[in-house]
Amino acid sequence: MNTNLKISNVTKIYPGCIANDNVSLEFNSGKIYALLGENGAGKSTLVKILSGVVIADEGKIYLNENILKLNSPSDAKKNDIGMVFQHFNLFETLSVFENLIIDSDEKRESLREKIDTIMKKYNFSIDLDIPVLNLSAGQKQKVEIIRCLIRSPKVLIMDEPTSVLTEQETSELFLSLKKFSEEGILIIYITHKLKEVMQLCDEVAVMRKGKLVSVSQIKNENLESLANKMVGQDLKTIKKKKENNSSEQLINITNLNFTSEDPFETNLVDINFSVNRGECLGIAGISGNGQSELFQVLSGEIISNKNSIEFNKNYIGDLNPQERREYLMAFSPEDRLEQAAIPQMAIFENVALNNFKSSNFFNNGLINESKIKEHSKKIISDFNVNTDNIDLKSQFLSGGNLQKLIIGRELITSPDLLICFNPTWGLDVGAINYIHETLIKINEQNKSIILISTDTDELLKLSDKISVIHKGKLSKIMNAEEVTSEKLGILMGGGN
Amino acid sequence: MIKIVKRDQPSKAIFFFTPVLAIFLTLVAGGIIFYILGFKPFEALKFFFIVPIADRYGFSELLLKATPLCLIAIGLSFCFKSNNWNIGAEGQLTFGAIVSGGIALLFYDQEGFYILPLVILAGAIGGMIYASIPAILKTYFNTNEILVSLMLVYVSKLILDYLVVGPWSNPEGFNFPETRQFSDSARLPLLIEGLRIHAGIFLALAAVVISWFVFYKTYLGFQMKVSGFSLKTAKYAGYKGKKMIILVFLISGACAGLAGVGEITGPIGQLHREVSPDYGFTAIIVAFLGRLHPVGIIFASLVVAITYLGAETAQIFMQIPKYTGQVFQGMILFFLLASDYLLFFKFKFIDTKK
């Protein structure tokens, strides 16, 4: 029997951002559909609506012409919609079998038979009686898939399924998905990986900034055209003026590697680059390709080989962030509320987090509150933070004001190098402009910036040189003038 | 109609009001329990909470019980404020008592001004050593500190049992499970003739002042505060988060160990099987009732200490089992946790006519 799933005019608004803006899509069984888009494009919200995790503000969803009421995940299950999330929802210490039967009320024996049939049919080989923690990531994913298959779903949604898989596991997954599709299960495949879309899918829907940009047949597309649609062509040509001929090297990274124990993190492979004084190096990439790890290695949260980072003629790879600050580096992490600042603490206390020696914030181990407050007042007025109460808890600052405070805190030392990660993420236009102007000013003062960002517009506007990070590897460094959005898009998707 | 809505921000007034509310609710519930048991509620509550401290002796007993509670709770507040759930203070107390008792026994037939400082120091070190076990296991081997610290409580009690029955038992003691009496030089002096209140109270007060100073005035305290709110931020600021974790455990262990010293070198003057009536566990309630603030902890330790005394008085005068005291401690914690709901939510009265 044919399955037809229709999304009609779905809108979902979160405070400060429109996650889905009037999205309409139609899917038919027998095909594999790709939902493609950058992080924050709204694809996850859309599938969360389909799986009942999030309730849409407006719009309707039809399955075979019937309106679906999706108020909870169990509604989705009842309506034969199965979902495999990017992060597994398994009980590590329970056995595979226990995990599979946990939300079912059928008899154990009949379920066991059913599971055995499914495994035979799709050539899965997993020992049902060992604890889940002994499985590889690929096997865990199979358990999740079997959990959906037990309910003989009409629709199967896969959210970024290959992010933790090896290549071997990925191709196995693709074979299975094709088999499911032949058997009449409608498959929706969410990803930002262009190659996978080309390899696996029949039709592709591209989302950008909450809107549906295009729906097309894969046979009419190629890597480049998809990249363009995903990244968007509304590029601004405004760039900062550049007359700086300084060739004095400030930071030099050689053969930097990082191997993580956490399968959800990305390993960094053989990173090499250098930045001159007065220069801004932009590092583009789709999020989750090693940006966070690169930031942590550069800031000293992750310690690396001493000689892998040379800053101002000192080898500093083995120093922690505080020690690196003494060499005049400054850092602005991506996560404002959980890392760069502590929302429950007052503004002046947050200023004290950047404790460099000459600040005298702490004398002989004691807190020098008047000094910290004096500094805080200066930051607030110099960087236009919209408050005059430095005793205010920083959770009451808007995102833009908090970011100004953080950037201000980092710049008050007049560092030689500022490393920032998505500095304008989630901010309004006014705050974005202010931050951008500030960053341009830093370069004009012959100080350097490493700007790690997922916002291509921002990178093209601010950078002198650009490199792209993909799966923990950096592309060669290009002059920003020669870079086009197409080229970035291809590199970001893993092309050449 | 009444609707429950989330507060935009936790209210400061409510923050200090809920402990008072919890105590009030405990009294009400206690009264009801007494009524069901067939006592006059007000009279029973009077026996429980007022009679025990109505005279000089009773007041001295109150301070005597409040001292270890306050000391341990101060130590625990360092752990709890930085999200380290050390619930094994009872074990750290016991081990501190064992180590300091061992030192005191070495000098059982000697006098000298240096003995008491040694004994006190030994107690603090004993507590620190014992607290370092869950701390190191947590930071380097990812074990759960709640389980480890709790299980170690029973280990320490069995070690104590073995020592007082076996190798350390008093050779002239007719096989009673206790050690020799310590020499006078190894004992904390009593403050007032005829009362049991001893110099250990100064240790507790010193701990209050020092902990307030460290936590609110020093860089070390600032680092602990930041590490407690967010390890990610601590890492970003360049603080040594793991060392911070071990440090708060050591502080907490030292305080519990000192409480153990007070128990054995005060009025008792020897090691025996029961060095503590679960002060280490009760202090957890004290720490939270005092809102993890040094001054709050002083008041909380006095309130909770009454339940120990009240239970004894009630047993003597009303033939109620002394475990009623634990019932009251449990109720205080229960009502405190329940009324903390008001920190984050408020009741809103809505006109239903609309």
| Neighboring chain B residues of A300 at a CB cutoff of 8 Å | 238
Token representation of residue B183: 């020499």
Q: What is the pLDDT of residue B113?
A: 92
Candidate from A331, A339, A355 with C-beta closest to B232: A339
**pLDDT bucket at B354, cuts 50 / 70 / 90:** very low
| Neighboring chain A residues of B230 at a CB cutoff of 8 Å | 338-339, 342
CB contact under 8 A, A342 and B238: no
Whether the CB of A362 is below 8 Å from some CB of chain B: the reply is yes
Whether the CB of A301 is below 8 Å from some CB of chain B: the reply is yes
**pLDDT bucket at A189, cuts 50 / 70 / 90:** very high
Lowest mean pLDDT among A207-211, B63-67, B95-99: A207-211
Tell me: the pLDDT tens digits for A78-88? 888 998 887 78
Q: Which fold has domain B58-301?
A: ABC transporter involved in vitamin B12 uptake, BtuC (1.10.3470)
Alpha-carbon distances, residue A400 vs A330, A424, A482, B233 (angstroms): 19, 8, 32, 19
Q: Which residue does chain A place closest to B227, by CA atoms?
A: A342
**pLDDT bucket at A468, cuts 50 / 70 / 90:** very high
Q: How far apart are CA B225 and CA A455, in angstroms?
A: 34
* N-terminal to C-terminal alpha carbon distance within chain A: 42
CB contact under 8 A, A366 and B219: yes
Whether the CB of B273 is below 8 Å from some CB of chain A: the reply is no
CB contact under 8 A, B236 and A353: yes
Q: What is the pLDDT of residue A242?
A: 60
Q: In the predicted model, what is the mean pLDDT of residues A3-29? A: 85
Q: In the predicted model, what is the mean pLDDT of residues A434-442? A: 90
Q: Which residue does chain A place closest to B218, by CA atoms?
A: A366
Alpha-carbon distances, residue B70 vs A92, B52, B66, B193, B280 (angstroms): 41, 19, 6, 24, 10
**pLDDT bucket at A40, cuts 50 / 70 / 90:** low
Asked if pLDDT for residue A264 goes beyond 60, the answer is yes
Percent of chain B surpassing pLDDT 90: 53
Q: In the predicted model, what is the mean pLDDT of residues A218-227? A: 84
Superfamily grouping for domain A4-231: P-loop containing nucleotide triphosphate hydrolases (3.40.50.300)
Asked if pLDDT for residue B92 goes beyond 50, the answer is yes
Q: What is the pLDDT of residue A233?
A: 54
Q: In the predicted model, what is the mean pLDDT of residues B84-108? A: 95
Nearest-neighbour CA in chain B from A95: distance (Å)? 22
Q: What is the pLDDT of residue A238?
A: 46
| Neighboring chain B residues of A344 at a CB cutoff of 8 Å | 229
| Neighboring chain A residues of B292 at a CB cutoff of 8 Å | none
Q: What is the pLDDT of residue A429?
A: 64
Q: In the predicted model, what is the mean pLDDT of residues B2-21? A: 75
Whether the CB of A168 is below 8 Å from some CB of chain B: the reply is no
- Tell me which amino acid residue B198 is: H
Listed by number, the residues of chain A in 372-411 with a beta carbon closer than 8 Å to a beta carbon of chain B are 393, 395-396
**pLDDT bucket at A225, cuts 50 / 70 / 90:** confident
Q: Residue A18: left if φ>0, alpha if ψ -120 to 50, beta else—which one?
A: beta
Whether the CB of A349 is below 8 Å from some CB of chain B: the reply is yes
Q: What is the pLDDT of residue A17?
A: 66
Whether the CB of A43 is below 8 Å from some CB of chain B: the reply is no
Candidate from A301, A335, A342 with C-beta closest to B235: A301
Asked if pLDDT for residue A237 goes beyond 50, the answer is no
Candidate from B218, B225, B239 with C-beta closest to A365: B218
What's the mean per-residue pLDDT of chain B?
90
Candidate from A323, A338, A355 with C-beta closest to B230: A338
Lowest mean pLDDT among A421-430, B89-98, B205-214: A421-430
**pLDDT bucket at A235, cuts 50 / 70 / 90:** very low
Whether the CB of A338 is below 8 Å from some CB of chain B: the reply is yes
Candidate from B225, B229, B238 with C-beta closest to A323: B238
Q: In the predicted model, what is the mean pLDDT of residues A386-412? A: 86
**pLDDT bucket at A228, cuts 50 / 70 / 90:** confident
Select from B170, B169, B160 the least CA-distant residue to B100. B160
Token representation of residue B284: 């957890």
Helix (H, G, I), strand (E, B) or coil at A275: strand
Q: Which residue does chain A place closest to B232, by CA atoms?
A: A339
Contact between A166 and A139 under an 8 Å Cβ cutoff? The reply is no
Tell me: the pLDDT tens digits for A301-327? 998 888 999 999 899 999 999 899 999
| Neighboring chain A residues of B219 at a CB cutoff of 8 Å | 355, 362, 365-367
What's the mean per-residue pLDDT of chain A?
86
Tell me: the pLDDT tens digits for A50-80? 988 888 888 999 988 888 888 888 888 888 8
Query: Mutate which of B215, B222, B244 to disrupt the A interface (most A C-beta within 10 Å)?
Result: B222
Most distant CA pair in chain B, distance = 84
More confident residue, A242 or A55: A55
**pLDDT bucket at B69, cuts 50 / 70 / 90:** very high
All CATH 3.40.50.300 domain ranges of chain A, comma separated, are 4-231, 249-492
- Indicate the DSSP class of residue B353: T
Lowest mean pLDDT among A241-250, B114-123, B284-293: A241-250
Q: How far apart are CA A297 and CA A315, in angstroms?
A: 14
Select from A138, A141, A147 the least CA-distant residue to A114. A147
Select from A397, A396, A404, A454 the least CA-distant residue to A432. A404
Q: What is the pLDDT of residue A243?
A: 57
Q: Which residue does chain A place closest to B10, by CA atoms?
A: A344
Q: In the predicted model, what is the mean pLDDT of residues B36-54? A: 88
Q: Which residue does chain A place closest to B8, by CA atoms?
A: A396
Asked if pLDDT for residue A453 goes beyond 50, the answer is yes
Whether the CB of B230 is below 8 Å from some CB of chain A: the reply is yes
Nearest-neighbour CA in chain B from A268: distance (Å)? 19
- Model-wide pTM > 0.90: no
Q: In the predicted model, what is the mean pLDDT of residues A334-354? A: 89
Q: How many residues does the structure list for chain B?
A: 354
CB contact under 8 A, A339 and B230: yes
CB contact under 8 A, B233 and A342: yes
**pLDDT bucket at B10, cuts 50 / 70 / 90:** low
Q: Which fold has domain A249-492?
A: Rossmann fold (3.40.50)
Candidate from A342, A365, A366 with C-beta closest to B229: A342
Q: Which residue does chain B place closest to A332, by CA atoms?
A: B236
Q: Within a 10 A sphere around the Cβ of A270, how many other Cβ atoms?
A: 11
Q: What is the pLDDT of residue B283?
A: 96
Q: What is the pLDDT of residue A376?
A: 93
- A vs B, Cβ pairs < 8 A, gives 64
Domain chopping of chain B, boundaries? 58-301
Candidate from A301, A366, A395 with C-beta closest to B217: A366
Q: In the predicted model, what is the mean pLDDT of residues A192-204? A: 87
Q: What is the pLDDT of residue A234?
A: 47
Percent of chain A surpassing pLDDT 90: 30
Q: What is the pLDDT of residue A299?
A: 93
CB contact under 8 A, A366 and B222: no
Nearest-neighbour CA in chain B from A341: distance (Å)? 7
**pLDDT bucket at A15, cuts 50 / 70 / 90:** low
Asked if pLDDT for residue A145 goes beyond 50, the answer is yes
